[in-house]
Amino acid sequence: MTPDDALATSARLMSEFAVRTGLSAPKQRAERYLWTDAFAVCNFIELFRRTRDEKYLRYATDLIDQVHRVLGRYRDDDARRGWISGLDEEAGRSHPTAGGLRIGKPLKERDANEPVDERLEWDRDGQYFHYLTKWMHALCQAALFIGEAAYARWAVELGERAFAGFARGPRSGEVVGLCCMHR
């Protein structure tokens, strides 16, 4: 495969992704998945860098906005409403990552008093540290390439929230480590 063929294949795959996920033709309620979307932002930026086709830059920025609007808020089947951060609408739009981001799995996260079902855990939504770091990377890439300072600020806010939610301080000689994130 020649570099031109590889570029054409990448462009086709990413354009299909944009259609399939509701990015280029918005669906009633966009479904987002943080891990895949982080890779897609980086891919769209690279496609723009190589082709100078503005649609790829638009896809990258639209995807960032859509991820924040969908995954920065509670799910429709959750009793809680609004931004995960608890901020009002205006502040939430300005700081969409301040409360973290859901990953976009099909089932809502388990309630604190709900028993663990090993089979269902793989499909449960919530916040996973490695997904959040992948999104921070995508935001940093967008900030560097596009020159939008807000993306860098959102990456830092997400990092602060992820660290606060996952890092545990030492207790009488206990080693600092990672634990699951609770809101």
Q: What's residue 17's pLDDT? A: 94
Q: Is residue 156 part of a domain?
A: yes
Q: What is the 3-state secondary structure (H, E, C) of the chain?
A: CCHHHHHHHHHHHHHHHHHHCCCCCCCCCCCCCHHHHHHHHHHHHHHHHHHCCHHHHHHHHHHHHHHHHHHCECCCCCCCCCECCCCCHHHHHHCCCCCCCCCCCCECCCCCCCCCCHHHHCCECCCCHHHHHHHHHHHHHHHHHHCCHHHHHHHHHHHHHHHHHHECCCCCCCCCCECCCCC
Q: Which residue would you say has higher pLDDT here, 180 or 144?
A: 144
Q: Is residue 177 part of a domain?
A: no
> Which residue, 94, 57, 41, 56, is CA-closest to 72?
94
Q: Is residue 155 part of a domain?
A: yes
Alpha-carbon distance of 163 to 146, in angstroms, equals 26
Report helix, strand or coil for 172. coil
Mean residue pLDDT across the chain: 90
Alpha-carbon distance of 66 to 58, in angstroms, equals 12
Amino acid at 145: F
What is the number of domains present in the chain?
1
Q: Is residue 180 part of a domain?
A: no
Checking if the pLDDT of 11 tops 80, the result is: yes
Checking if the pLDDT of 2 tops 90, the result is: no
DSSP one-letter string for 55-70: HHHHHHHHHHHHHHHH
Q: Is residue 62 part of a domain?
A: yes
pLDDT in tens, 16-66: 999 999 898 766 677 799 999 999 999 999 999 999 999 999 999 999 999
Q: Is residue 175 part of a domain?
A: no
The pLDDT confidence band at residue 175, using thresholds 50, 70 and 90, is low
The pLDDT confidence band at residue 180, using thresholds 50, 70 and 90, is very low
Q: What's residue 86's pLDDT? A: 95
Q: What's residue 178's pLDDT? A: 47
Alpha-carbon distance of 122 to 3, in angstroms, equals 37
> Which residue, 72, 79, 130, is CA-closest to 102?
72
pLDDT in tens, 76-120: 999 899 999 999 999 999 999 999 999 999 999 888 898 999 989
Q: Is residue 172 part of a domain?
A: no
Q: What's residue 105's pLDDT? A: 94
Determine the structural domain holding residue 24 and report its residue range.
Answer: 3-166
Q: What are phi and psi of 167, to 5 degrees?
A: -85, 140
Half-sphere exposure of 148 (CA within 13 A, CB side): 15
The pLDDT confidence band at residue 165, using thresholds 50, 70 and 90, is confident
pLDDT in tens, 139-149: 999 999 999 99
Q: Is residue 26 part of a domain?
A: yes
